[in-house]
Amino acid sequence: MKLIFFLLLFLSMLYANDASYNRGETLFFSKSCSSCHGPDAMGTTTYPRLANKKESYLIKKLKDFRAGKAETVSQQMMAQFARKLDDENIADLAYFLSHHKKPKTEELDDDILGGFGS
């Protein structure tokens, strides 16, 4: 009986994590995070990498930005985006970013112009 309970608990946690990852991914693209941090969340010379950072760190930073804590112009810009996020949005975004899975290029179709994913 205990085995069944733990199996069900594990499956429900696994499903919840998948749902959180998917919600976070949707938020990342719908809130235009990818415009600055890149579609793979690896950052640029101007904006930091977010992919695979610690979940607790990302949650703290997003909550700080939401509270208006900003020391630089880039952070002030982040505060504008984070202000619209609730705790669940922040948790989902942090989960997605901390568990970010970059697609394998061999799984994507090559288009006639040499790009991937079309």
Is 50 within a domain? yes
- Token pair 């690896």 in the structure block, residue: 42
Q: pLDDT digits over 6-34, tens only?
A: 444 444 454 457 889 999 999 999 998 98
Q: Is the per-residue pLDDT at 42 higher than 70? A: yes
What distances in angstroms separate CA 78 from CA 15, 21, 58, one per listed residue? Answer: 30, 21, 12
- Per cent of the chain over pLDDT 90 is 45
Distance CA 11, CA 29 (A): 27
Q: Where are the alpha helices (DSSP H) in 1-118?
A: 2-30, 33-37, 55-66, 73-82, 87-98
Domain count, the chain: 1
Residue-range definition of the domain harbouring residue 53: 20-100
Residue 112 lies in a domain: no
Tokens for 93, please give them.
């975004």
Domain CATH code at residue 50: 1.10.760.10
Q: Is the pLDDT reported for residue 108 higher than 50?
A: no
